[in-house]
């Protein structure tokens, strides 16, 4: 645990919580550095399969720490650094559990994640529009890839709030949970994803998120290349389980039918 960041590991799922409730979990340079370290540690840990990112006290992240930014330094300047957590995607899935505001840099953190689980209190927006702070954090690239250019321009040019139900309607959110249940729902989804054969899951994910800007034939060949390790190490065993009767008739549980479990460590 760190005062600005809380890291919890439950079985094969890591939950990372931004913990600056006094500023609605706005990120300063130290918080950004801690996030980079935490995600790097997660990505390099073979015992961890899926991460959940959230914020403390009912708020995801209110953006950059504007008091720090007003001094001429801050995360808006630092995001170009190779160590910034949004510079590259990880090799493993990350799920955002969004409650309350995910705005400005908080929006960028949410769209950097693979999936977004929101509760009914969630609000997205480019609220930094009113303060003249640009979104130099990947959001102007990732948001239109998620929701389309027209909807993304609407958010970027107006800075207006987008609530949970609109986020679901436009494809910004993937799951809608009752108020107060974003983290619980996201962790359950993380456990579900973590229960599948991971070589295959990660090779398909890498193909999907890495195809942008590639010619179709080149992207398909890359997809085929990525899949070879899974064919060698997982597919035959998976086919044998199916032959024995597992996974039929709509049963979509992983091998053995159980979600991963384990003790807690912090």
CA distance 161 to 127: 8
Task: Per-residue pLDDT tens, the chain, 266 aa: give them.
Answer: 459 999 999 999 999 999 999 999 999 999 998 999 999 999 999 999 999 999 999 999 999 998 998 888 878 766 655 555 567 899 999 999 999 999 999 999 999 999 999 999 999 999 999 988 889 888 999 999 999 999 999 999 999 999 999 999 999 999 999 999 999 999 999 999 999 999 999 999 999 999 999 888 988 998 888 778 776 777 556 655 665 666 665 555 654 334 444 433 33
pLDDT value at position 198?
Answer: 95
CA distance 56 to 237: 41
pLDDT value at position 75?
Answer: 80
pLDDT value at position 257?
Answer: 39
Neighbours of 254 (CB within 10 A): 18
Q: Are 118 and 175 in contact (CB under 8 A)?
A: yes
The tokens describing 73, both together, are 């330094």
pLDDT value at position 197?
Answer: 94
CA distance 257 to 20: 39
Neighbours of 1 (CB within 10 A): 9
């Amino acid at each position: 645990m760190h005062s600005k960041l809380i890291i919890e590991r439950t079985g094969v799922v890591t939950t990372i919580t931004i913990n600056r409730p006094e500023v609605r979990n706005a990120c300063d340079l130290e918080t950004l550095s801690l996030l980079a370290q935490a995600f790097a540690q997660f990505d390099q840990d073979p015992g961890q399969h899926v991460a959940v990112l959230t914020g403390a006290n009912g708020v995801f992240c209110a953006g950059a720490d504007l008091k720090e930014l007003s001094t001429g330094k801050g995360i808006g300047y630092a995001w170009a650094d190779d160590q910034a957590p949004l510079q590259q995607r990880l090799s493993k899935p990350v799920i955002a559990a969004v409650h309350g505001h995910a705005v400005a840099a908080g929006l960028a953190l949410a769209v950097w994640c693979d999936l977004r689980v929101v509760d009914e209190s969630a609000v997205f927006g480019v609220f930094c529009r009113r303060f003249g702070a640009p979104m130099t954090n990947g959001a102007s690239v990732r948001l239109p890839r998620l929701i389309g250019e027209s909807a993304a321009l609407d958010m970027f040019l107006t800075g207006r709030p987008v609530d949970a139900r609109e986020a679901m309607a436009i494809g910004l959110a993937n799951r809608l949970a009752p108020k107060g249940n974003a983290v619980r729902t996201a962790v359950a989804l993380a456990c579900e994803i973590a229960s599948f054969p991971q070589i295959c899951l990660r090779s398909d994910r890498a193909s999907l998120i890495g195809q942008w800007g590639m010619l179709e034939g080149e992207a398909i060949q890359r997809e085929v290349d990525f899949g070879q390790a899974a064919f060698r190490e997982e597919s035959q065993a998976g086919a044998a389980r199916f032959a024995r009767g597992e996974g039929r008739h709509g049963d979509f549980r992983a091998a053995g039918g159980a979600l991963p479990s384990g003790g807690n460590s912090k």
